[in-house]
């Protein structure tokens, strides 16, 4: 569940939506609180101006005795108006108040200090654990007031109006509760909607795709994904169906190829059995014929013409014996006896055995190898046969002379072609190349050169390269051939380089 795509989409969405809604809720609460506070401050200012105006009217009409009643009336008529007080600027003694019991007492020190600092508000105060909006207003000694108070004083008194914020804070708390409740409900609805959308548009189509893929994994290549959607998933389904159709076609072609290969292998096995029997039947009388010819040759000491004929008969017998030997090697191959061997010495030994043929064709053989070529696990006799076959073919492809260049080097397996890398195990590979300057191989024949009995020579059984390929593959290697850009061909023999612990 926790690794599902649905979970990975919904959880980040849940987190993002939560952060957005929490941030939005906190921001709305803060803004609303600031607006309500500003409203209360403005209300305090307006109320202070109204009371100050009423006081001035009373003073102008010489009815200041009604001041106390007016202040008490204002306090009773407003739910939020906490208190109205007028105190003397010189001493801070309260001269009039909406609460008569405060008359004659000193005003709160904090209020008096604000007056002294010239702060008229509105400002917020906290008294006895409660918050108030306060506004200080100076009652100035205007000319109409001089007849009662004289012209000496500039300020007759200071009015302090306090507005309770309990109602505002109660509204804020109610707003918080409603906002949080609505936010939770909206959050749940958004998440449910988001989950439904993910399930319908993503989760279900993906589950259907997975079901189809499992059917295909089980071998049912007729399974197809739904392609009715026009979005990216629909495009993916169409591409996948196209890939499965290609895979199904390739499977049928591969099955047909395997069937042909099995038929071919069965035919070759039958041919091999027949060839093996024929070879044994031929070899015994061939040996007798060879011995008889040798006896005749010893009796024809003075007959030069007869000796030439007998010599030609012996050459043909050797050719037949070589062909019989190839047939037996192909029909009943020997199991390789592997041991750590110096591949350079094996190549040099093979070169020694064909040196006479190379000299006769005026072919130069050059062997070039790196200094750090390690020993490899091979059957030296079998690999010598492989190298002799390749070198002899190269020499015969240069009847007018030329050069055979043999190179030994190490390669990292990842540097090789994919088809070679798949067949050879190990991190390092020994690459032996045989490059000649001969007539080359026609491109149409290149795919058949390792097939048994395929040859374009007038002499030969056509088994040399097929036997060589089998031997190399039994050693865990590979052999390939390509035409050179200018002239001639290059054979490549790839052998795995095993670790020292394997060689020991």
Residue-wise pLDDT for 401-452, tens only, equals 899 999 999 888 888 888 787 778 778 899 999 999 988 888 888 887 887 7
Q: Is the pTM of this model over 0.75?
A: no
**What digits encode the pLDDT tens for the residues 133-178?**
888 888 887 776 766 767 777 777 888 888 888 888 888 888 888 8
pLDDT band at 456 (very low <50, low <70, confident <90, very high): low
Which residue is it, tokens 């941030």?
Answer: 23
Report the pLDDT value the prediction gives residue 408, as an integer from 0 to 100.
Answer: 93
Lowest mean pLDDT among 161-165, 179-183, 227-231, 277-281: 277-281
Checking 198-203 for CB contacts under 8 A at 24+ apart, the result is 198/6, 198/9, 198/10, 198/13, 199/6, 202/5, 202/6, 202/9, 202/233, 203/4, 203/5, 203/6
Over residues 482-488, the mean pLDDT reads 87
Q: How far apart are CA 375 and CA 247, in angstroms?
A: 43
Higher pLDDT, 450 or 62: 450
Q: State yes or no: pLDDT of 349 exceeds 80.
A: yes
Report the pLDDT value the prediction gives residue 407, as an integer from 0 to 100.
Answer: 92
pLDDT band at 387 (very low <50, low <70, confident <90, very high): very high
Q: How far apart are CA 129 and CA 134, in angstroms?
A: 15
Report the pLDDT value the prediction gives residue 491, as an integer from 0 to 100.
Answer: 93
The gap between the terminal CA atoms of the chain, to the nearest Å, is: 51
In the DSSP assignment, the letter for residue 129 is T
Over residues 481-497, the mean pLDDT reads 90
Higher pLDDT, 154 or 489: 489
HSE-CB for 90 with a 13 A CA cutoff: 4
Q: State yes or no: pLDDT of 311 exceeds 70.
A: yes
Domains and CATH numbers, the chain: 5-171 (3.30.450.20), 232-332 (1.10.287), 335-503 (3.30.565.10)
Q: How far apart are CA 147 and CA 34, in angstroms?
A: 46
Over residues 225-229, the mean pLDDT reads 73
Over residues 33-40, the mean pLDDT reads 83
Report the pLDDT value the prediction gives residue 324, as an integer from 0 to 100.
Answer: 65
Best-predicted range by mean pLDDT (296-305, 377-386, 410-419, 455-464)? 377-386
Task: Write out the DSSP string of 252-300.
Answer: HHHHHHHHHHHHHHHHHHHHHHHHHHHHHHHHHHHHHHHHHHHHHHHH-
Phi, psi of 103 (to 5 degrees): -65, 135
Contact 224, 208 (CB under 8 A): no
Contact 44, 161 (CB under 8 A): yes
Report the pLDDT value the prediction gives residue 336, as an integer from 0 to 100.
Answer: 80
Report the pLDDT value the prediction gives residue 501, as an integer from 0 to 100.
Answer: 43
Q: Are strands 363-369 and 402-412 parallel, antiparallel or unpaired?
A: parallel
Q: State yes or no: pLDDT of 480 exceeds 70.
A: yes
Q: What percent of the chain has pLDDT over 70?
A: 81
Which residue is it, tokens 């109610």?
Answer: 174
Over residues 103-108, the mean pLDDT reads 86
Report the pLDDT value the prediction gives residue 309, as an integer from 0 to 100.
Answer: 75
Report the pLDDT value the prediction gives residue 307, as an integer from 0 to 100.
Answer: 67
């Amino acid at each position: 569940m926790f690794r599902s795509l649905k979970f990975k989409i919904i959880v980040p969405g849940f987190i993002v939506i939560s952060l957005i809604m929490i941030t939005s809720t906190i921001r709305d609460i803060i803004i609303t609180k600031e607006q309500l506070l500003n409203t209360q401050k403005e209300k305090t200012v307006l109320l202070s101006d109204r009371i100050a105006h009423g006081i001035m009217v009373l003073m102008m009409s010489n009815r200041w005795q009604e001041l106390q009643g007016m202040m008490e009336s204002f306090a009773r008529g407003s739910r939020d108006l906490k208190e109205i007080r007028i105190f003397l600027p010189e001493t801070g003694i309260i001269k009039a108040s909406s609460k008569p019991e405060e008359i004659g007492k000193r005003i709160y020190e904090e209020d008096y200090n604000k007056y002294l600092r010239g702060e008229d508000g509105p400002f917020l105060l906290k008294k006895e654990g409660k918050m108030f909006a306060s506004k200080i207003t100076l009652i100035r000694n205007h000319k109409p007031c001089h007849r009662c108070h004289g012209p000496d004083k500039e300020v007759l008194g200071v009015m302090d109006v306090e507005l309770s914020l309990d109602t505002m804070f109660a509204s804020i708390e109610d707003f918080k509760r409603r906002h949080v409740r609505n936010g939770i409900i909206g959050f749940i609805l958004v998440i449910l909607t988001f989950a439904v959308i993910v399930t319908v548009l993503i989760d279900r189509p993906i589950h259907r795709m997975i079901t189809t893929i499992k059917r295909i994994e089980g071998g049912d290549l007729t399974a197809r994904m739904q392609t009715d959607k026009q979005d990216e998933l629909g495009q993916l389904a169409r591409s996948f169906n196209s890939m499965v159709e290609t895979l199904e076609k390739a499977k049928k072609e591969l099955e047909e190829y395997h069937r042909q290969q099995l038929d071919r292998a069965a035919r070759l096995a039958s041919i091999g059995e027949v060839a093996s029997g024929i070879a044994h039947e031929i070899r015994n009388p061939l040996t007798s014929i060879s011995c008889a010819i040798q006896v005749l040759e010893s009796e024809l000491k003075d007959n030069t013409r007869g000796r030439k004929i007998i010599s030609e008969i012996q050459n043909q017998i050797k050719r037949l014996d070589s062909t019989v030997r190839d047939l037996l090697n192909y029909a009943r191959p020997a199991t390789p006896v592997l041991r750590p061997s110096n591949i350079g010495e094996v190549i040099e030994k093979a070169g020694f055995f064909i040196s006479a043929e190379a000299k006769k064709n005026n072919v130069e053989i050059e062997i070039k190898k790196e200094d750090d070529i390690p020993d490899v696990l091979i059957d030296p006799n079998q690999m010598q046969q492989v190298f002799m076959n390749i070198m002899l073919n190269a020499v015969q492809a240069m009847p007018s002379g030329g050069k055979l260049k043999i190179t030994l080097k190490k390669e990292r397996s990842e540097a090789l072609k994919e088809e070679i890398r798949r067949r050879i195990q190990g991190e390092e590979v020994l690459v032996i190349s045989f490059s000649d300057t001969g007539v080359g191989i026609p491109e149409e024949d290149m795919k058949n050169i390792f097939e048994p009995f395929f040859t374009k020579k007038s002499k030969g059984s056509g088994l040399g390269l097929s036997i060589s390929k089998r031997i190399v593959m039994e050693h865990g290697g590979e052999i390939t051939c390509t035409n050179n850009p200018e002239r001639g061909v290059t054979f490549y023999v790839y052998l795995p380089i095993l670790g020292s612990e394997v060689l020991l």
